[in-house]
Structure 1
């Protein structure tokens, strides 16, 4: 009601007074939401930013995303034959970008509206070793892990400028991904 700097500090202190149990619970929820196809972990990632700030929230989001993607890949390997995905549009698009498949996978993990199960399938097919599979996950999950935590922290601080910056960053990442897809398709047409 009376939002001044002193009350803001009290609100932040009150909201961020959580123990390790809460952190572990949110971390597990984040991993589970990433590992189950069709679920979104976005709400928990924003909540991590609100409850723990941008730095710790980013760490929880990023590590949770990486572990969740690995759990998802293991589930996909056990439940389905990855070779059946060789006809999917994402896989054929990535394979047409010879020498740039890793960059394509990074963009695939970066963009939240691309199903992570499909990107994980493609990662399984393209990269044969665990280390190679890990690289696009580690890099691709960084931007949104940070943006969600930063956005959550901005919501708590009621900072409109920071929210606008986060929105602009999301648009820039989406435009980069779209331009990668367009360039890849042009390479594919040029090869034919």
Structure 2
């Protein structure tokens, strides 16, 4: 997918930054598509630091715009998507400093889906400004880790990518087996 994005960056070079930021916003609003392919394309096309900065701007703006849209349109929906994440459910009822620190900490955790953090904040009581600042600050370390990881993977030759794929498949299999095992009370 990042190959297609790089193609568009090359084809419309003068608009590449805007294309990247626009796609990041769309990814954030949809809330279910991982953003690493945009980060990878940015790193390959713009270089590590500029690509990381553009990814940050796109993800921060995407979260802010998604928050606004979710707040306007999704506040009436159920809180069911949050049932699997107790901290996210807690965010719905927090305001001020407590909401700020929880959003910040949730953005730092790579296994908490970004779209759900935005959704929980939007249907909750947190202010727009508090969300925007906490979310953006929290994205900085997470995005640096993502950018570094993605950059390292893009530098792999096919052998490294094959090894990484085998390890990933094995880890998925182990997690799947663990989840299938009945838990003892």
Fold shared by both chains (TM-score > 0.5): yes
Q: Which runs of 5+ in 2 are unaligned?
A: 1-6, 158-185
Q: Which residue of 1 aligns with 2:113?
A: 115
CA contact (8 A) 2:28 2:115 kept: no
Structure 1 SS opposite 2:32: coil
Decide whether aligned partners of structure 1 residues 144 and 50 sit closer, same or farther in structure 2, where only a CA change above 3 A counts: farther
Shift of 1:139: 1.0
Shift of 1:62: 0.7
Q: Which residue of 2 aligns with 1:56?
A: 50
Distance 1:67 1:28 in 2: 9
1:38-187 to 2 correspondences below 5 Å: 38-81=32-75, 84-85=78-79, 88=83, 89-94=86-91, 100-124=98-122, 125-128=124-127, 130-158=128-156
Q: Which residue of 2 aligns with 1:184?
A: none
Shift of 1:22: 2.8
1:30 is aligned to 2:29? no
Decide whether aligned partners of structure 1 residues 22 and 69 sit closer, same or farther in structure 2, where only a CA change above 3 A counts: same
CA contact (8 A) 1:62 1:141 kept: yes
Q: Which residue of 1 aligns with 2:183?
A: none
Distance 2:89 2:103 in 1: 12
Shift of 1:132: 1.3
TM-score using structure 2 length: 0.62
Decide whether aligned partners of structure 1 residues 99 and 134 sit closer, same or farther in structure 2, where only a CA change above 3 A counts: closer
Post-superposition Cα deviations, 1:116-159, rounded to whole Å, max 9, x if no partner, equal 3331233232422x321212111111123222333343345449
Shift of 1:79: 1.9
What is the aligned length? 142
Structure 1 SS opposite 2:79: helix
CA RMSD of aligned residues (A): 3.2
Structure 2 SS opposite 1:141: helix
Structure 2 SS opposite 1:127: coil
Distance 1:41 1:77 in 2: 22
TM-score using structure 1 length: 0.60
Q: Which runs of 5+ in 1 are unaligned?
A: 1-14, 160-192
CA contact (8 A) 1:90 1:119 kept: no
CA contact (8 A) 2:31 2:116 kept: no
